[in-house]
Amino acid sequence: MSILNLLTNITPEKAYFLGGLLVANEFYFNEGQNIWSVPIRHNPGQVSQHDIKQHFDFLKIMSNDVGGKIFDSSVLGSNLGFSAGKKGFAILFQSSKYENLNVVLDNFQIIQNSDKNIKRAFLIGAFDGRSSFDRDTVTGNIRNIAVDCDDKKVHDIISALLLEFGIAALSQNESRERLSGGRPRKNQLRIPKSGLANFAINIGFISPFRFKIFRQYFSQDLPFIYNEDDILPGLKTLSSKLPNTFYEENRLDEIVIEETNNKSIIPTISQYAGVPKPKIHPSFTNGRKIYNRNPQIAINALSLANYQCEIDAAHPTFIRRKNDKPYTEPHHLVPMAFSDRFDVSLDVEENIVSLCSHCHNLLHYGKDAKDLLALLLDKRKHLLKKVGINVDIDDLYEMYKLY
C-alpha cells in the first residue's frame, strides 16, 4: 500500500482527502506503517454535535471507497494531535512504507492535469476541515478564511489552484510572528475578503458547520446567494455516494400538517379560485430564505380534495381525532423553495395536493416518486396554469432531484 493510491485513477473523493492530507501534513511512522491523517478539528462551543455528526457521516461515505478509515476524536485521543477539548474526527490512510509529503508532491501533476471538478474537490478538502473564519470584531463580518499550512510547496500549489478559480490567496506569515517570543505560529494560507464570494460560489465546503457560517455571511452581504445550490454548484456531484437529501430543505410542510389538525380551522372556499395570487415575500431565518405557508390555504386544499388521497381516492386513511375529517396531508406540488422562479405565489390551493401519509412520504423520500409526481402534475396542470404556475414534468423532476 502506498499513499500514491489516492492519486491513481483520481476521483473527486480522492482529491478531497488529498487536499486535507497535504494541508494538514500530519503523518506518523510506526512499526513499519505510515499513518496519514486528515484531521477535522473544531473548537468546542462553536459547533453543534449534530453538525459534527453530519460531517462525520458525509465523510464516512466518501472515505469508504477510497481506503480511508474514519475515527472520532474520543477514540483517537491525544496521539493524533487531538488535544483535550478539540472536537472532531480524523480520516486515516495507511501506507506500508515510509513516505513523506514529497512523494505526493512529486506526483502532483496528476491533479494539476485533471479537470476542474477534481481541482475543486481538492480545494474543498484543503479548507473543509481545518480552516477558520477570521471576523471583524466590530461588524462580525468575515475578513478572511485561513488555514494553517506550513509547507511552502503545498502553499504554492494551493495558491496556484485557487488562482485558476479566480481567487488570489494571501500569505500573512509575517504578521503572525509572535512579538513576545515563544514558538512562532504556523504559516497560514488566507483567502482575503475579495476572494470570499468566488470561494463561496466556485468552491465551498462540505462541513455543515462552516457551510452555515458561510450562508449566514452571504445572506447579509450578497443576498443573491442564499441557498446551498447557489453556494455549492455541484456539491452533490462531488461524491456520487452522497445522498442528495443531505442539504435538502426541511420538510416545512410538517408545520402545516400540524396546523391542519386544528379543530377551529375550517375551509373558507368551496371551489378553486383559479386566479393567480401575488407573490409573498420570504423571511430570513439564520440566513435561510423561507417562504411562509398559510395553513388556511392548506385546509382549503384538503377540503377541495374531499379529504382523499389524490393519487388514489381509495387509499386508506383514518379519521382525525380533533375534527372528524379523514386524515390527509397537504403537499405543495411545486415546492415553495422554488418561489423565486415564479412571478406568482406558490402557496395557493391549486398548488396544494392532498395525500395519504404513505403517498406523501413516498413523494419526499421514495424511489418511485417519479410516477406519483407525473400523475399529480397530470391532474393539476390545468389548475396550475390558471394561477400562473407553468411547469412541465422535467421541471418537477429537477426540483425534486429525481433524475
Binding mask 55-84 for Zn ion (x = CB under 5 A): ------------------------------
Site for Zn ion, residues 99 to 138, rule: CB under 5 A: none
Near Zn ion by CB under 5 A, which window of 180-188, 242-250, 285-293, 326-334? 326-334
CB of 45 to Zn ion, least distance (A): 36
Cα–Cα distance, 196 to 333 (Å, whole number) = 36
Cα–Cα distance, 152 to 65 (Å, whole number) = 31
Closer to Zn ion by Cβ: residue 136 or 312: 312
Cα–Cα distance, 8 to 21 (Å, whole number) = 16
Near Zn ion by CB under 5 A, which window of 17-25, 195-203, 212-220, 315-323? 315-323
Q: Which residues contact 102 (CB under 8 A, 6 or more apart)?
A: none
Q: Which residues contact 121 (CB under 8 A, 6 or more apart)?
A: 12, 13, 15, 16, 19, 238
The residue from 359, 376, 389, 396 that contacts Zn ion (CB under 5 A) is 359
CB of 108 to Zn ion, least distance (A): 47
Cα–Cα distance, 77 to 72 (Å, whole number) = 9
Phi and psi, residue 102, nearest 5°: -60, -30
Q: 27: which 3 cell numbers?
A: 503523518
The residue from 238, 356, 377, 387 that contacts Zn ion (CB under 5 A) is 356
The residue from 315, 320, 381, 386 that contacts Zn ion (CB under 5 A) is 315
Site for Zn ion, residues 285 to 314, rule: CB under 5 A: 309, 311
Per rule CB under 5 A, count of chain residues that contact Zn ion: 7
How many Cβ atoms are within 10 Å of 98's Cβ, its own excluded?
11
CB of 252 to Zn ion, least distance (A): 9
Instruction: By CB under 5 A, tell whether 331 contacts Zn ion.
Output: yes
Place of cell 379529504: 307
Closer to Zn ion by Cβ: residue 228 or 253: 253
DSSP H or E segment with residue 139: none
CB of 332 to Zn ion, least distance (A): 7
Q: 352-355 and 329-332: which strand pairing?
A: antiparallel
Instruction: By CB under 5 A, tell whether 90 contacts Zn ion.
Output: no
CB of 24 to Zn ion, least distance (A): 42
Near Zn ion by CB under 5 A, which window of 43-51, 57-65, 193-201, 250-258? 250-258
Cα–Cα distance, 218 to 145 (Å, whole number) = 14
- H helical segments located in 203-276: 208-221, 228-231, 235-238, 253-259
Q: Residue 18: which of 3, 29, 33 has the closest Cα?
A: 3
CB of 308 to Zn ion, least distance (A): 9
Closer to Zn ion by Cβ: residue 142 or 311: 311
- Residues near Zn ion (CB under 5 A): 253, 309, 311, 315, 331, 356, 359
